[in-house]
Amino acid sequence: MRFKMGSSLHSRVSLLLLLALISFCISVASSASSFSSTSETTMHTNNWAVLVCTSRFWFNYRHMANTLSLYRTVKRLGIADERIILMLADDMACNARNKYPAQVFNNENHRLNLYGDNVEVDYRGYEVTVENFLRILTGRHEPAVPRSKRLLSDEGSHILLYMTGHGGDEFLKFQDSEELQSHDLADAVKQMKEKHRFKELLIMVDTCQAATLFSQLHSPGVLAIGSSMKGENSYSHHLDSDVGVSVVDRFTFYTLAFFERLNIYDNASLISLFKSYNPSTLMSTAYYRTDLYQRQLEEVPVTNFFGSVMETIHTDSAYKSLSRKEWDKDKSVNSLTLEEERTPMTLTSEKQTSDSETEVEGGSKCPWSTFRNKVHKSEDIDTLVNYGIAIMAPLVAISTWLSSFGSKLPEESNSPGRLSIVHGCQIASHSIRVPFLWQE
């Protein structure tokens, strides 16, 4: 019985290549699963607010007042201007009909000027378009757009999206000239989720038939609330006789009434906000959609969207000044404490350095281990795919070459115990013994 070197070698190499491919696929699968699990447990890092008034003209004064009222509220609860995108389609404060120049009010008592010194408008007038709105959400800006006009959120961000204006069945009007459709909003939110631009998103809309704007949403982590159901109108709250128009809508008015009772330290939940809307006072039915939201509303504070995530320390009394003796004693205790803390920190840093050096040495000894470490550390699924293509291409090429090489090998040698010329290369010119070739 004669074993043939060509077919045996080809089968062995093919088996090794198959095992290598299986091992690589398992490694990539484990990395992908760890990547997805990491994205699901991303920490809440920051809050953003996108506040949009879509209406022009003096008789839509209340829509600008709605937006400026929410702007003041989220700033009071801790969201900084640098994390707020404010879009106002018209400047009612400078309108010639305004009896109170450079001022905007949301109540007929005129106690609070919403258009004060600390209002930073990012998009105003004809800059408020459907295109710019979608660019803000998806991050697809022109290169010349400054950072202050961009939503620079990340996968740990909670975003509040508030919109007010005139709407209808699955649309919201911009500038009385174009419309944002429900599928446009759903597509933008889907792109945001795929690009890891938010962890959780709350969409709040004050317009007629606001609930219909959420019908196409399918992205996880999204919570939506609207001022009215399909077929219902959203009404203004009261008229200011001095200004001559309505100054606030009902849904926004009662939202502000809820938040005026809170401060940055309160832990009121989202369910308490949603249950505060009374259909008899709103003259419409507030609708909220929660099927895409994973957490229970009772466990989520409203400040997760309307406030800041900064760690704060609340003290009941003011700081007391220390005497000279107490100051010297405090200083000596602090210096000793710092000296004690410095030693373990140094040891820890040295340990981390030695661990990193050991890891580098281990990686240099084993290339496959180095490659696996790079794959596990990669945070982008596209990087994993590129690694797979880079590894599979040479393996497939080698396998194809070996297949053609094995098919051209002679089935038997010219003489027993002697090798002949293969592919123009003389392997041996005299009798040799090959350990894995023998005759019976």
DSSP string, 335-360: HHHHHHHHHHHHHHHHHHHHHHHHHH
SS3 for 289?
strand
- Please state, as a whole number, how many other Cβ atoms lie within 10 Å of the Cβ of residue 134: 16
Q: List residues bridging with 47 in a β-sheet.
A: 158
Round the CA-based radius of gyration of the chain to a whole number and report it. Answer: 34
Q: Catalytic residue among 141, 166, 196, 238, which?
A: 166
> What is the chain's percent helix, strand, coil content, to nearest 5?
45, 15, 40
Per-residue tokens: 304? 């997760």
Q: Which amino acid is at 227?
A: S
3-state secondary structure 116-162: CCCCCCCEEHHHCCHHHHHHHHHCCCCCCCCHHHCCCCCCCEEEEEE
Q: Measured at the alpha carbon of residue 106, what is the angle toward residues 105 and 108, in degrees to the nearest 5?
A: 80
Q: Catalytic residue among 10, 53, 158, 208, which?
A: 208
Is 156 in contact with 44 (CB distance < 8 Å)?
yes
Per-residue tokens: 210? 């606001």
Q: List residues bridging with 84 in a β-sheet.
A: 49
| d(C-alpha 173, C-alpha 163), whole Å | 11
Name the residue among 119, 420, 59, 83 with its Cα closest to residue 246: 59
Q: Is 166 a catalytic residue?
A: yes
29 contact partners, CB below 8 Å, separation of at least 6: none
| d(C-alpha 268, C-alpha 288), whole Å | 17
* CA atoms within 13 A of residue 357's CA, in its CB half-sphere: 6
Name the pairing type of β-strands 46-53 and 157-164: parallel
Q: Is 25 a catalytic residue?
A: no
Per-residue tokens: 94? 């400078």
Answer positive or negative: Cα dihedral of 372, 373, 374, 377.
Answer: positive
Q: List residues bridging with 164 in a β-sheet.
A: 53, 206
**DSSP code for 168:** E
- Please state, as a whole number, how many other Cβ atoms lie within 10 Å of the Cβ of residue 296: 11
- Phi then psi for 201, rounded to 5 degrees? -135, 125
Please list the active-site residues. 166, 208
